[in-house]
Amino acid sequence: MPTAAIKICGISTPIALEAAIRGRAAFAGFVFFPKSPRNVTLAQAAQLAEAAQGRISRVGLFVDADDTAIAEAVSAARLDVLQLHGQETPERAAQLRARFGLQVWKALPVASADDVARAHAYAGAADLLLFDAKTPKGALPGGMGLSFDWRLVAHWKGPLAWGLAGGLTPENVAEAVTLTGAPLVDTSSGVESAPGVKDEGRIAAFCAAVHAA
């Protein structure tokens, strides 16, 4: 089985970006959500995007953002992918994909089999589904280090590509990949020393664990 592609999310410094590239991560995630401890300004994103050019793909993470905010981020960070991590409907995902001509990933909060079944509504609207844990009411919709029962998405055969997120760490990611067969894994808080503070050593360990799985 080929190894899973890696996305390191919430990158806000050149040191973290270089660690992700050294670890052969395919995707660097930049958070455009002011409530997140990982939020980046347009100026920060532009600088990181420049360093990323041709070395790692750039994913912009948005939570129910409007077109103007997304357009500014796309232009500043030369994004390759839009990751929608809020309540975006299939219609909204399709609209953004058409407007920006970029890949659209939709995060789906999962706690039950019914949540996983909602994935089918995004066929033809999004390019990839990111199964993530449901977070408590009033909390951030992601980046909380919470995981869900991976058996719900084990070897998922759906109408579009998919990835696994939520509480993935250097310590558990090999088991997650083995159990689910996820083609892509995404982590944020699992490779940090504190909320919003990426840890080079943990990024390296996470990537090594995925490559060895």
Ligand X SMILES: O=C(O)c1ccccc1N[C@@H]1O[C@H](COP(=O)(O)O)[C@@H](O)[C@H]1O
Q: Token pair for residue 89? A: 């409907």
Of 102, 106, 109, the C-alpha closest to 126 is 106
**Between 166 and 170, CB nearer to ligand X:** 166
Euclidean distance between CA atoms 93 and 111, whole angstroms: 22
Question: Letter for the amino acid at 194?
Answer: A
Shortest CB 61 distance to ligand X, Å: 6
**Between 23 and 142, CB nearer to ligand X:** 142
**Between 180 and 189, CB nearer to ligand X:** 189
Shortest CB 139 distance to ligand X, Å: 9
Euclidean distance between CA atoms 49 and 14, whole angstroms: 10
Say if strands 192-194 and 197-198 run parallel, antiparallel, or are unpaired.
antiparallel
**Between 30 and 98, CB nearer to ligand X:** 30
Shortest CB 133 distance to ligand X, Å: 7
Shortest CB 125 distance to ligand X, Å: 19
**Between 98 and 149, CB nearer to ligand X:** 149
Shortest CB 99 distance to ligand X, Å: 21
Euclidean distance between CA atoms 142 and 133, whole angstroms: 8
Q: Which residues contact 80 (CB under 8 A, 6 or more apart)?
A: 57, 58, 59, 102, 103
By CB under 6 A, name the binding residues for ligand X.
9-10, 29, 31, 33, 36, 38, 61, 63, 85, 107, 130, 132, 140-146, 165-168, 186-190
